Structure 1
């Protein structure tokens, strides 16, 4: 591996996918997390050549030290869902300051919360941003800080926006992650957010990694937000779980999980409580257009192939 290092802050599902995409490009990678190599989980062996630095990214001195010599810094951190408003903005500021100190590009992992309700229209990078949720407003305020830093010439910024993710190693945070796959493999009832028969773009984790790696290495992408790759022909949540079931050889019942049920569970679980305001994404068709990134040559893995790889990875992890 040759050239300046690419520094990925965060080793959750997105951070690992990004590091893997950079390693595939034969680039030197430094991964920054709080829990060491054990946090790499199923990707530990694939990331064995990656330099690992362990510490608290909210410590500005540590973050700047971790980013030293970086060509690009990737912000893929994700604090606890119910602590976003308090913890996320200062966390981003520390990583932004580290990128500025290193004179590195800042590659931001974002989502589509800041758009608010799609109103029956596909979301594009030009869609108006009118967040109506607390987390959407947090995301928009954080993005505004990044673009202000970019316009001021302090640091190059580029942002990748993903929809709800799924794929190998997605864990319990994904609407199509281990909670669903556990039920599918066991043949139990599968409860999906909202209306399971509405089309919903989910973004495949390896495609998120590929998209962020492109944003961190191409010269012609900075100063803009890009939708990370989504299949241009999205399926409904039910159709995706039915395919999971076919691959697993089971026939579970599939139903919706109403907002009232989330509220009830949320009384005792702060993470579930935070999901209630995001239920709108599953109450109408939710399509996120990524044709602009496809024009760069970064296209989504077709859904059937992505689902097959996801089930194979789940089986390997639970063998």
Structure 2
């Protein structure tokens, strides 16, 4: 019988890509959502998902949704960075309790938030975690609870990555919310950091494929396992803006600075701006996840060339004219991506 995955946060960027990747590997995919009918319409390109009504903040809902699941993909986050303090720890506790009850493992997408400047610039899985931000401290606490759960019989897999971009349903990230404007032609690119500072990006279809391959070798993993995903490391961070301009065939559009000063002024009144501002330090210094362990385990890391990844990302965001940028072969690849079947 096929293994079953419960995805919490399936309408988000990583969750939706995990649904597609796991389906490709023969998994049965189940997803929990407070409004399952609306979620099914949002992910109409993924009719294979079995939707269950439930709230990640409700322990009984998560426990019920996880019955007979082999793995729980914990991909849920507060929208727009809002109310991290009141939601992320209770939600991970509910997932852990459900995993204990059902015998399922847990897949958790990690970030660089856990680490402080003492661990920069190159981060190994074992680098010290001394975060300087509130979200970083919350991430450390979530992973601490996951490690404790692994000592009580729950298999845990953490895959840490840089800033997300790409995929068919990824809107809550820096690429889609900060660098470009979804649904509009690329007339300018906004870049948040100094142009010369390196930055790491995780193309979500590649990250999800990596996670699926790791799960396929679950028997070879320790009870608590952490890997770093390399993704796209850009030695000069501005290379992402250049890639966007090249993908849009608009090499002369201006690259604008993110108005951090305005975000600072508005942060007392707009929670999303306040949460975004807390992450500014990650744009000021190069912070790179070392994927040596991952490559040694899998043999290689799935990797879509940056130009193709950016073109597909712009097309998925509905930037007018993006569909015209593809050759016939690339158009077919994008079609497979949007149908959730690309590998």
When normalised by structure 2's length, the TM-score is 0.84
Q: Is the 1:183–1:189 contact (alpha carbons within 8 Å) kept by the matching residues of 2?
A: no
Distance 1:53 1:184 in 2: 30
Q: Is the 2:122–2:288 contact (alpha carbons within 8 Å) kept by the matching residues of 1?
A: yes
Do residues 313 (structure 1) and 316 (structure 2) align? Answer: yes
Partner of 2:65: 66
Aligned residues: 315
Q: Is the 2:162–2:201 contact (alpha carbons within 8 Å) kept by the matching residues of 1?
A: yes
Report how far residue 30 of structure 1 moved: 0.6
Report how far residue 118 of structure 1 moved: 6.1
Report how far residue 180 of structure 1 moved: 2.6
Please, which moves more after superposition, 102-111 or 28-37? 28-37
Map 1:49-60 → 2, pairs under 5 A = 49-60=48-59
Q: Against the structure 1 CA distance between its residues 298 and 117, is the aligned structure 2 distance closer, same or farther, given a 3 Å change threshold?
A: same
Distance 1:200 1:66 in 2: 38
Q: Is the 1:194–1:259 contact (alpha carbons within 8 Å) kept by the matching residues of 2?
A: no
Do residues 203 (structure 1) and 207 (structure 2) align? Answer: no
Q: Is the 1:30–1:51 contact (alpha carbons within 8 Å) kept by the matching residues of 2?
A: yes
Q: Is the 1:172–1:179 contact (alpha carbons within 8 Å) kept by the matching residues of 2?
A: no
Partner of 1:34: 34
Q: Against the structure 1 CA distance between its residues 177 and 169, is the aligned structure 2 distance closer, same or farther, given a 3 Å change threshold?
A: farther
Partner of 2:116: 116
Partner of 1:147: 147
Partner of 1:21: 21
Q: Against the structure 1 CA distance between its residues 52 and 42, is the aligned structure 2 distance closer, same or farther, given a 3 Å change threshold?
A: closer
Partner of 2:268: 267
Partner of 1:247: 247
Report how far residue 172 of structure 1 moved: 4.1
Q: Against the structure 1 CA distance between its residues 118 and 18, is the aligned structure 2 distance closer, same or farther, given a 3 Å change threshold?
A: farther
Do residues 176 (structure 1) and 179 (structure 2) align? Answer: no
Distance 1:136 1:202 in 2: 18
Q: Is the 2:78–2:88 contact (alpha carbons within 8 Å) kept by the matching residues of 1?
A: yes
Q: The residue matched to 1:201 in structure 2 has which SS? A: strand
C-alpha root-mean-square deviation of aligned residues, in Å?
A: 2.4
Map 1:79-158 → 2, pairs under 5 A = 79-80=78-79, 81-117=81-117, 120-151=120-151, 153-158=152-157
Partner of 1:212: 211
Q: The residue matched to 2:290 in structure 1 has which SS? A: coil
Report how far residue 168 of structure 1 moved: 2.7
Please, which moves more after superposition, 122-131 or 86-95? 122-131
Q: The residue matched to 1:226 in structure 2 has which SS? A: strand
Distance 1:64 1:253 in 2: 50
Q: Against the structure 1 CA distance between its residues 266 and 41, is the aligned structure 2 distance closer, same or farther, given a 3 Å change threshold?
A: farther
Distance 1:304 1:269 in 2: 34
Partner of 2:307: 304
Do residues 161 (structure 1) and 160 (structure 2) align? Answer: yes
Q: The residue matched to 2:293 in structure 1 has which SS? A: helix
Distance 1:44 1:59 in 2: 26
Distance 1:48 1:184 in 2: 24
Report how far residue 160 of structure 1 moved: 1.3
Q: Is the 2:78–2:84 contact (alpha carbons within 8 Å) kept by the matching residues of 1?
A: yes
Report how far residue 173 of structure 1 moved: 2.2
Q: The residue matched to 1:32 in structure 2 has which SS? A: strand
Q: Against the structure 1 CA distance between its residues 148 and 140, is the aligned structure 2 distance closer, same or farther, given a 3 Å change threshold?
A: same
